[in-house]
Amino acid sequence: MAERATTRASLTGGSAQPVTDGAPRAIVAGATGFAGALAAHLLWRNPGFQLVAVTGRSEVGRRLDDLYPRYRVPLQIEALDLEAIGAIDAAVVAYPHAAAAPTVGALRERGVRVVDLSADFRLSSLATYERWYGAHPRPDLLAQAVYGLTELHRERIATADLVANPGCYPTASLLGLAPLARAGLIADVVIDAKQGISGAGRTFDETTHQSMAGENILPYKVAEHRHTPEIEEQLAPLRAAGGARDEVAVLFQAHLVPLDQGELVDCYVTPTREVRDDELLELYVDAYRREPSVEVVAAPPGTREVQETNFCRVFAKADPHSGKVIVLSAIDNLWKGTSSQAVQNLNVMFDLPELEGLT
Amino acid sequence: MAERATTRASLTGGSAQPVTDGAPRAIVAGATGFAGALAAHLLWRNPGFQLVAVTGRSEVGRRLDDLYPRYRVPLQIEALDLEAIGAIDAAVVAYPHAAAAPTVGALRERGVRVVDLSADFRLSSLATYERWYGAHPRPDLLAQAVYGLTELHRERIATADLVANPGCYPTASLLGLAPLARAGLIADVVIDAKQGISGAGRTFDETTHQSMAGENILPYKVAEHRHTPEIEEQLAPLRAAGGARDEVAVLFQAHLVPLDQGELVDCYVTPTREVRDDELLELYVDAYRREPSVEVVAAPPGTREVQETNFCRVFAKADPHSGKVIVLSAIDNLWKGTSSQAVQNLNVMFDLPELEGLT
Amino acid sequence: MAERATTRASLTGGSAQPVTDGAPRAIVAGATGFAGALAAHLLWRNPGFQLVAVTGRSEVGRRLDDLYPRYRVPLQIEALDLEAIGAIDAAVVAYPHAAAAPTVGALRERGVRVVDLSADFRLSSLATYERWYGAHPRPDLLAQAVYGLTELHRERIATADLVANPGCYPTASLLGLAPLARAGLIADVVIDAKQGISGAGRTFDETTHQSMAGENILPYKVAEHRHTPEIEEQLAPLRAAGGARDEVAVLFQAHLVPLDQGELVDCYVTPTREVRDDELLELYVDAYRREPSVEVVAAPPGTREVQETNFCRVFAKADPHSGKVIVLSAIDNLWKGTSSQAVQNLNVMFDLPELEGLT
Amino acid sequence: MAERATTRASLTGGSAQPVTDGAPRAIVAGATGFAGALAAHLLWRNPGFQLVAVTGRSEVGRRLDDLYPRYRVPLQIEALDLEAIGAIDAAVVAYPHAAAAPTVGALRERGVRVVDLSADFRLSSLATYERWYGAHPRPDLLAQAVYGLTELHRERIATADLVANPGCYPTASLLGLAPLARAGLIADVVIDAKQGISGAGRTFDETTHQSMAGENILPYKVAEHRHTPEIEEQLAPLRAAGGARDEVAVLFQAHLVPLDQGELVDCYVTPTREVRDDELLELYVDAYRREPSVEVVAAPPGTREVQETNFCRVFAKADPHSGKVIVLSAIDNLWKGTSSQAVQNLNVMFDLPELEGLT
């Protein structure tokens, strides 16, 4: 007779993993957090990969579909033991900053191709990393890392062994600013970002308690946001390609607002010359005409339009009164901002259709 | 040069409809409401059908992906003109009660197989219908309608030409109660239902305004809920099969709570004899072992576990103190409660994999 | 020059406490939780009391208006030291169950009149307490405790030295059921309760994380709710006064829904005889005509109507179809359900206007 | 016997209006919208005024506590008939732009002192008004109107007969920027504003439907916001007093986020010279030391800290990296942003304690 379990996993039904023969074997290291769990969910339903293990530094022995019933991944969370797991081809590492690098190193030494969700390999400048995050555990790997904003670096990602998945704020900001930067139009920029509470992750504190986060708009990390150097470092070559000879010091300000998944960045750009709306529209449509995950829109995008998708919606408009240009960029912070972009990168790395398992 | 449009549809990208050769041609009549729009979205991504038109009684000429940017169905909303649309095989009708029946009739007269989302064909008793909804526009069609709770009537649905899709409350209630009813265990039942605001539909009033619906728990239609006869009519043969000779008068009470999509019903059952938890678990696991859309769980289900899925999660537990049995049943009111169940039924009717396009 | 502080308390303005000469000196023990903090806020603005200290088992040294900026109580949180605090007349104790009783005892031994928010003194039966909560630290005090549902026990509260403030679920349930019970009309009752996330308190876990609590309806503690005996114990004498000779076994089921403060209980009563709506209305209006905090309403009450008030809104209706009576009772779980009722009781105990500081 | 009403007003209890002898007689014209209803609520509980009538252009005959049960104002909504109402001293006019001016005129001609919540008298420049709102119905009254940002114009408000209550965005923006402007420190400013859904008012459409507004961040009116000239016009004399000889063209961008009441503006200021945090703190504390409704804080303020209060919380910080200054200003858009500021102004006009009825 069936025994009453205490798990939230289903006692009936159950979804088998659809896997193509000979698909690369993948793991998610750090599957207990929001980002890792979603990456596991997306890999589980992606026939191009065989998800063979999910690991965690806590919750070992618990099933992932008990911890995250929504995702229905019926694997048991293991402690990370690369010997025991056996041969694998691909890994998503979803550890906190500084904790990720040693695991990424161990995986690389076994020849595993890695997408790392932490900040550990996003910055090419070691000095900049250490100013914001402290000592780097594996600076030797920095040179081989490719910045994983798919739309900017698709070709290099295809052959990369280590992809540093961008932060969600830089993802939205850079997709919004790239066309202007390449056209040499950015003299100065202020970025005001708003994000749902999932952006705080599986953290249990005043920031995420519904009675404190609900009915609130909460600015945080004023004048000290770690994503500034990441945006600046990626913006520099784009601006240079557009003819800029100077550097731009970005002001980035973030806020939590009471929803789950969604992120909007407003970029207030002082342009290098006057631009009109029709020129902006042409610039953006040209830039993204062949991009399957970027939607240029002609009305201000709400984040709900991209929730639980890999899409980024971009809208640009001139403000003749102030002489500035406003660029709005909307993503789902957990999807395109984190985990679906990680899978998008894995698809590119393993020569699969770029959006396999994501639509 | 590109012209700035006023629509919220994307100017770049665009998803082609994946269609199997020779797939049945389908329409959604009434695609401007929540239920019809979601049905269109689900059919658009279902390769087993070719969605050839979406119609509306308002918003004609507007694109559906402007009205519902989330759904990315790039069809223009048309007035319903069966001549103009040409040959079609299948239709989902998403009109209000009483407005649906004439259109269903017109479609049936052209040989179109229909899933109707309204209440017009859910009740087999004309008298009961007229007590709650007024005169029936097409009582002649009642006899051919099959009640579309897939798990209860799959075989009859497979050959039906007219399927009456259940209400969301009856869907959750009946999946929760069916095993107990068939086992002859229900002497009396009180149903307390909670639902997200999407249950009120695309209605713009005090019920749905975020400043009134938010931070509120709102009971409505006390002692006068139209879903009572629908539940009772479906429960009767199940109870009879379980040996019951009497009728049960259901008390059903509904509430709106501040979320979007999600529905929980609590069924408080006075059993005909004492039952223990282990017997209940065996009863439910047995009942649903082969059902792909029903998940029997061993912990109280939250509605978030089934959001944007065709799953119903069911949990049953005895309360020795009061002698009653508590059955909890959780669905997404717009998915399994309405539109994904409609597509599940269409898949069954056209001999496609039952969950095609739904997972 | 002003130094930049790290506190969320304001650097300008600041509200002095309005205190009547000779007002009783009060403390709140356990002011770091939701209930204690709100009690401190309500006492601070109540001119009938002088709030002389707020204590906590954590956060000592932090100002309460830093921990709870909304409440603007500029007192520093202290460790509880009755010697150091000096002479006090009144205390609200907001500790967890079992932790409260020893502190209540220490306060009583100094002659302080106490309102205790825990369950420690709510049940007159020691056996019942120990079945649900384990060993009682101070059973000797049980006899002097008065159950603090103001509307039921106002006269005894006026002279009590120890008031056991009711749970929020019993508060709403009993105010809803009392008129029926006194009229001898309750044969059986099922209570389905819904509550906002603040009901989980300042607890940081999956239950309260906005990304898990939001977009969710979560049933909990199925068939094992501690409030059942509290409701039954209070209902018994009311039913006896109405002529009942038997006991009623209450089925109580609770749910968390995604809002902050608000609670609705639906009581499904099997009446001892048929009752009609007009009789119900007369019964309820008669019962509560002179009660300043109970509003009998003629439409189903939403919880938003009572948010941040000491009101309970009650609505009763017969369901001729099932033969049952539905009673809806709405309160703010933190106000009338906890802290404002505590202050209401203190006002009664110290012969102040009952709603001083609460309107 | 009591008759079952259909109203949501209470059948028991009922709050009498506390009125000081000889208190000015006041009305609210346009009490059916969010702003007017809250103004009525605040005047009802303010002993300094006698609220003698609430009027509406719709809902005539309905009681205000049925339309807004939370506010418990038991007056019947009347059509505005100044003859019938009789002698009154004060009025709050809560009509849409352009509709307000004629009624304000009629009231002024009877000698009534008016606080107008519309934009009709906020701009001193008729040309600017007409560019944004069309023809002005009563330009003759512009000269007597005083801009009702209490903290900026308290003395003139005290003797004014017509006060133009500021928009909520200008209120937060100007309180945030005034100290910098007066110190001659603003060279350029971008304002990014976020607001709860109540900011859209009692409007029933896609903007306010919970299933569309929830889980969304929605930018609107990009590069075309009407509040820009209001902010610029008020900022000009402050900047001039600080020595500025030029004009500043403000970029203002607004967003709706899914909460009810709350507004945060982020002001990104390019300063005329380098400023440090300690200088900023001193500047702000000095500016607002004696302001009872402005709280200078040393941590980024969340809007929840000011919900349902007349407080504005202000925080300023330098960003050495970009060279800019960030000023955050948080209010409740319906309270300090609209209705409680209206009552604050009425209190000043009638020589009552400034926060009477507001704390």
Residue that is written with structure tokens 């998944």 in the block: A261
Q: What is the mean pLDDT of residues C135-151?
A: 97
Which residues, other chains included, contact A95 with Cβ-Cβ below 8 Å and sequence gap of 6+? A29, A30, A57, A103, A117, A118
pLDDT at A2: 38
- Tokens encoding C247: 């006991």
Q: Under a CB-based contact definition with an 8 Å cutoff, are residues C174 and C229 in contact? A: no
Which residues, other chains included, contact A174 with Cβ-Cβ below 8 Å and sequence gap of 6+? A149, A152, A166, A231, A234, A235
Q: Under a CB-based contact definition with an 8 Å cutoff, are residues A356 and A350 in contact? A: no
Neighbours of D20 (CB within 10 A): 13
Of the residues C28, C117, C168, C296, only one is catalytic, namely C168
Span C52-72, pLDDT tens digits: 999 999 999 999 999 999 999
pLDDT at C301: 97
State the smallest CA–CA distance between residue A206 and chain D in angstroms.
Answer: 12
**Whole-angstrom Cα distance, residue B29 to residue D10?**
44
Which residues, other chains included, contact D353 with Cβ-Cβ below 8 Å and sequence gap of 6+? D48, D347
Q: What is the mean pLDDT of residues D259-278?
A: 98
Lowest mean pLDDT, pick from B203-207, C287-291, C315-319: B203-207
Chain A residues in contact with chain C using a Cβ-Cβ cutoff of 8 Å: 34, 196-198, 202, 204-206, 208-211, 213-215, 258-261
Answer yes or no: is pLDDT of A255 > 70.
yes
**Does the distance separating the beta carbons of D264 and A223 come in below 8 Å?**
no
Query: What are the CA-CA distances from residue C291 to residues B253, C97, C178, C299 (Å)?
Result: 28, 30, 13, 19
Query: What are the CA-CA distances from residue C136 to residues A324, C111, C160 (Å)?
Result: 69, 21, 21
Answer yes or no: is pLDDT of B4 > 60.
no
- Tokens encoding B256: 């709106």
Minimum-distance CB partner of D285 among C12, C15, C277: C12
Span D227-242, pLDDT tens digits: 899 999 999 999 999 9
Span D167-214, pLDDT tens digits: 999 999 999 999 999 999 999 999 999 999 999 999 889 999 999 999
Residue that is written with structure tokens 């029933």 in the block: D204
Q: Under a CB-based contact definition with an 8 Å cutoff, are residues C327 and C315 in contact? A: yes
Rg, chain B, Cα only: 21
Query: What residues of chain A lie within 8 A of the CB of B293, using their CB?
Result: 13
Answer yes or no: is pLDDT of B335 > 90.
yes
**Whole-angstrom Cα distance, residue D322 to residue D268?**
11
**Does the distance separating the beta carbons of B253 and C266 come in below 8 Å?**
yes
Neighbours of A212 (CB within 10 A): 24
- Tokens encoding B326: 């508590």
State the smallest CA–CA distance between residue A235 and chain D in angstroms.
Answer: 15
Lowest mean pLDDT, pick from A316-330, B110-124, C10-24: C10-24
List, in sequence order, the alpha helices (H) in chain A.
34-44, 64-67, 82-85, 100-109, 126-133, 150-158, 168-182, 210-213, 227-241, 277-288, 340-349
**Whole-angstrom Cα distance, residue A313 to residue A303?**
8
Span A35-88, pLDDT tens digits: 999 999 999 999 999 999 999 999 999 999 999 999 999 999 999 999 999 999
Separation of CA D239 from chain center: 22
- From first CA to last CA, the distance across chain D in angstroms is 40
Minimum-distance CB partner of A211 among C198, C206, C211: C198
Q: Under a CB-based contact definition with an 8 Å cutoff, are residues C7 and C71 in contact? A: no
State the smallest CA–CA distance between residue D279 and chain B in angstroms.
Answer: 40
ipTM: 0.96
Of the residues A168, A256, A349, A352, only one is catalytic, namely A168
Residue D352 amino acid letter? L
**Whole-angstrom Cα distance, residue A109 to residue A106?**
5
Q: What is the mean pLDDT of residues B306-329?
A: 98
**Whole-angstrom Cα distance, residue A340 to residue A345?**
8
- Tokens encoding B266: 């609590």
Query: What are the CA-CA distances from residue D36 to residues B212, D39, D338 (Å)?
Result: 16, 5, 9
Residue D166 amino acid letter? P
* pTM (predicted TM-score): 0.97
Q: Under a CB-based contact definition with an 8 Å cutoff, are residues D257 and A194 in contact? A: yes
Q: Under a CB-based contact definition with an 8 Å cutoff, are residues D337 and D320 in contact? A: no
> How many residue contacts between C and D have a Cβ separation below 8 Å?
109
Q: What is the mean pLDDT of chain D?
A: 95
**Whole-angstrom Cα distance, residue B346 to residue C53?**
67
Residue B42 amino acid letter? L
Chains touching D (at least 3 CB pairs under 8 A) are A, B, C
**Whole-angstrom Cα distance, residue D139 to residue B48?**
65
Specify whether C168 is catalytic.
yes
Beta bridge partners of C162: C114, C145
Beta bridge partners of C267: C191, C327
Minimum-distance CB partner of A257 among D257, D260, D330: D257
Which residues, other chains included, contact A81 with Cβ-Cβ below 8 Å and sequence gap of 6+? none
Q: Under a CB-based contact definition with an 8 Å cutoff, are residues D30 and D38 in contact? A: no
**Pick from C164, C313, C341, C169: nearest CA to C250:** C169
Lowest mean pLDDT, pick from A202-206, A327-331, C314-318: A202-206
Lowest mean pLDDT, pick from A192-196, A206-210, B31-35: A206-210
Separation of CA B358 from chain center: 14
Chain C residue closest in CA terms to A196? C211
pLDDT at D340: 98
pLDDT at C179: 98
Q: Interhelix angle for A340-349 vs A34-44, to 10°?
A: 50
Chain D residue closest in CA terms to C292? D13
Residue that is written with structure tokens 């223009």 in the block: B76
Beta bridge partners of D25: D50
Residue that is written with structure tokens 């120990």 in the block: C130
Q: Under a CB-based contact definition with an 8 Å cutoff, are residues B223 and B261 in contact? A: no
**Whole-angstrom Cα distance, residue B142 to residue B357?**
29
**Does the distance separating the beta carbons of C204 and A208 come in below 8 Å?**
yes
**Whole-angstrom Cα distance, residue B352 to residue B22?**
13
> Burial level of D247, CB count in 10 A (0-12/13-18/19+)?
exposed
* Residue-wise DSSP of C294-307: EEEBSSPPPGGGGT
State the smallest CA–CA distance between residue C244 and chain D in angstroms.
Answer: 27
Chain A residue closest in CA terms to D261? A215
Of the residues B162, B168, B181, B316, only one is catalytic, namely B168
Query: What residues of chain D lie within 8 A of the CB of B208, using their CB?
Result: 204, 208-211
**Does the distance separating the beta carbons of B259 and C258 come in below 8 Å?**
yes
Q: What is the mean pLDDT of residues D337-355?
A: 98
Query: What residues of chain C lie within 8 A of the CB of B326, using their CB?
Result: 222-223, 251, 253
Q: What is the mean pLDDT of chain C?
A: 95
Minimum-distance CB partner of B285 among A11, A295, A359: A11
**Does the distance separating the beta carbons of A258 and D258 come in below 8 Å?**
yes
Minimum-distance CB partner of C208 among A34, A209, A259: A209
State the smallest CA–CA distance between residue A97 and chain D in angstroms.
Answer: 23
pLDDT at D3: 42
Query: What residues of chain A lie within 8 A of the CB of C261, using their CB?
Result: 211
pLDDT band (50, 70, 90) for residue C169: very high
Span C79-124, pLDDT tens digits: 999 999 999 999 999 999 999 999 999 999 999 999 999 999 999 9
Chain B residue closest in CA terms to C302? B218
- Tokens encoding D234: 């008020």
Span D53-90, pLDDT tens digits: 999 999 999 999 999 999 999 999 999 999 999 999 99
**Does the distance separating the beta carbons of C205 and A211 come in below 8 Å?**
no
Q: What is the mean pLDDT of chain A?
A: 95
- By residue count, chain A amounts to 359
State the smallest CA–CA distance between residue C31 and chain B in angstroms.
Answer: 25
Chains touching B (at least 3 CB pairs under 8 A) are A, C, D
State the smallest CA–CA distance between residue A214 and chain D in angstroms.
Answer: 7
Q: Interhelix angle for B227-241 vs B168-182, to 10°?
A: 20
Residue that is written with structure tokens 């103004």 in the block: D39
Q: Interhelix angle for A168-182 vs A227-241, to 10°?
A: 20
pLDDT at A19: 84
Residue A197 amino acid letter? I
How many CA atoms within 13 Å lie on the side-chain side of C60? 9
Strands (E) located in chain D: 25-29, 50-55, 77-78, 90-93, 113-116, 145-147, 162-164, 186-195, 218-220, 251-256, 263-271, 294-296, 312-319, 324-331
> How many residue contacts between B and D have a Cβ separation below 8 Å?
57
**Whole-angstrom Cα distance, residue A88 to residue A284?**
40
Q: Under a CB-based contact definition with an 8 Å cutoff, are residues D217 and D200 in contact? A: no
Query: What residues of chain B lie within 8 A of the CB of C223, using their CB?
Result: 317-321, 326
Query: What residues of chain D lie within 8 A of the CB of C301, using their CB?
Result: 8, 69
Q: Under a CB-based contact definition with an 8 Å cutoff, are residues C345 and C121 in contact? A: no
Minimum-distance CB partner of C10 among D69, D295, D308: D295
Residues of D taking part in catalysis: 168
Minimum-distance CB partner of D322 among A249, A300, A315: A249
- Tokens encoding D3: 């008759």
**Pick from A335, A316, A320, A216: nearest CA to A266:** A316
> How many residue contacts between A and B have a Cβ separation below 8 Å?
110
Query: What residues of chain C lie within 8 A of the CB of B328, using their CB?
Result: 219, 222
Query: What residues of chain B lie within 8 A of the CB of D209, using their CB?
Result: 197, 202, 204, 208-210
State the smallest CA–CA distance between residue C120 and chain D in angstroms.
Answer: 33
**Whole-angstrom Cα distance, residue A195 to residue A257?**
6
Span D93-145, pLDDT tens digits: 999 999 999 999 999 999 999 999 999 999 999 999 999 999 999 999 999 99
> Burial level of A246, CB count in 10 A (0-12/13-18/19+)?
exposed
Query: What residues of chain A lie within 8 A of the CB of C338, using their CB?
Result: none
Answer yes or no: is pLDDT of D267 > 80.
yes
Query: What residues of chain C lie within 8 A of the CB of B297, using their CB?
Result: none
Minimum-distance CB partner of A322 among D215, D250, D326: D250
DSSP assignment, residue B124?
Answer: S
**Strand, coil or helix: what is B296?**
strand
